[in-house]
Homo-oligomer: A and B are copies of this chain.
Amino acid sequence: MSIQAPAALFDHDAVRRAVDATLAAYMNDQIRTAHHRGLPREPLHALSEFLGSGGKRIRPVLCVAGWQAGGGIGTPEPVLRAAASLEMFHASVLVHDDIIDASDTRRGHPTVHRQAGTAAAILIGDLALILADDLLHGAGLAPEQLTSVLRVANRLRIDTIYGQYLDLAHSGRPPADVAPAMAIVHHKTAKYTVEGPLLLGAALAGADPAVSGLLHAYGIPIGEAFQLRDDLLGIFGNPHETGKPALDDLREGKATVLMALALQQADPDQLHTLRRYVGDPKLTSAQAEQVRAVLVDTGARTAVENMIEQRRHSALSTLSTADLPAHIITALHSQAFSATARTT
């Protein structure tokens, strides 16, 4: 069964701007309400500033793409608000993640806990999670539509926390085993960042299970590739482009596929370098260069580039035979490249 595509192209930037406007309007409403009720506005201002400080809005964009893939037309207000609620949830995850990782900067700005203190940042993250609910519940969805969307949203959220927990559990002294690193990639990013938002959009449209199946087959490999790219950027990326200090991931000792492969392939000298420096919170730039050299020389960096390529290829083959509106095929095709070949 083929769904007729509307004439319009899928305009990423327009969706991004509409999501930004939706978030800004929602936050202004909350700030006004708090003011009228004599409640503190500081946590709302902090959250508002964080939301406005950038971010690719990849989850809302994919949610709208999922909606249109499922037969939805255009970007009606309830869909935009549901999509924006993913970004609000993401703000909650990032604010708490920065506390967990003791990160000083995010998107080129001091992290929320560095500005407001850890205690306030815990509450600001909690508030963002609750407001993500409020935004979704008040999006104006039909009651039956809301029920099915909530099921998808909760699964996405639970998976995200498991991914974060796995990440934390393996940080500090990353294992040479690829399996735990892949489990993190799968839950923390493939499901959370790509597949989940697409499926949420499809649920909004009440899509056919076949459509959800396609979005899953596309979303998981692209999501994995997205995280594998992120892991490369965290170590080899340009901090001026990523907005993230170049030493954070190495100092933290993140359990990545990149690191697991390097640990497997390292000779004794290289292993010594990795075990000595990775996870050292005082790692210097010069030491980081030594680690980077090992990641390159062991072939780990190339292997991860190949894994990204394979996953993109798998997703693109899914698309090539997919029975989806043409403008969505185009949009997902381009998303496959921007998610996996990016530099920020």
Q: List residues of chain A with CB under 8 Å of any chain B CB.
A: 34, 38-40, 42-43, 92, 96, 99-100, 119-120, 122-123, 125-127, 129-131, 133-134, 137-138, 143-144, 146-147, 150-151, 154, 157-158, 161-162, 164-166, 168-169, 183, 187
Contact = CB atoms under 8 A, between A and B. Distances in A.
Given A162-B34, A165-B43, A129 B126 contact: yes
Which 4 pairs of residues, A with B, have the shortest CB-CB distance? Answer: A143-B143, A100-B119, A137-B150, A134-B154
Contacts of A43: 161-162, 165
What is the count of identical protomers in the complex?
2
B137 A151 contact: yes
Nearest to A37: B162
A165 B116 CA distance: 12
Contacts of A100: 119, 122-123
A38 B186 CA distance: 12
A161 B96 contact: no
Contact of A161 (B130, B164, B165, B166): B130
A127 B40 contact: no
Interface of A is mostly: helix
A164 B39 CA distance: 11
A131 B133 CA distance: 13
Contacts of A161: 43, 123, 126-127, 130
A40 B165 contact: yes
A99 B187 CA distance: 26
25 contacts: A34-B162, A39-B162, A40-B162, A40-B165, A42-B169, A43-B161, A43-B165, A96-B123, A99-B119, A119-B168, A122-B122, A123-B164, A125-B126, A126-B129, A126-B164, A127-B158, A127-B161, A130-B158, A133-B150, A137-B151, A138-B151, A143-B143, A143-B144, A143-B146, A143-B147
Contacts of A150: 133, 137
Contacts of A130: 129, 154, 157-158, 161
Contacts of A123: 96, 100, 161, 164-165, 168
Given A134-B154, A143-B144, 14 more contacts: A38-B183, A40-B165, A40-B166, A43-B165, A96-B122, A120-B165, A126-B126, A126-B161, A127-B161, A129-B129, A130-B158, A133-B154, A133-B157, A137-B147
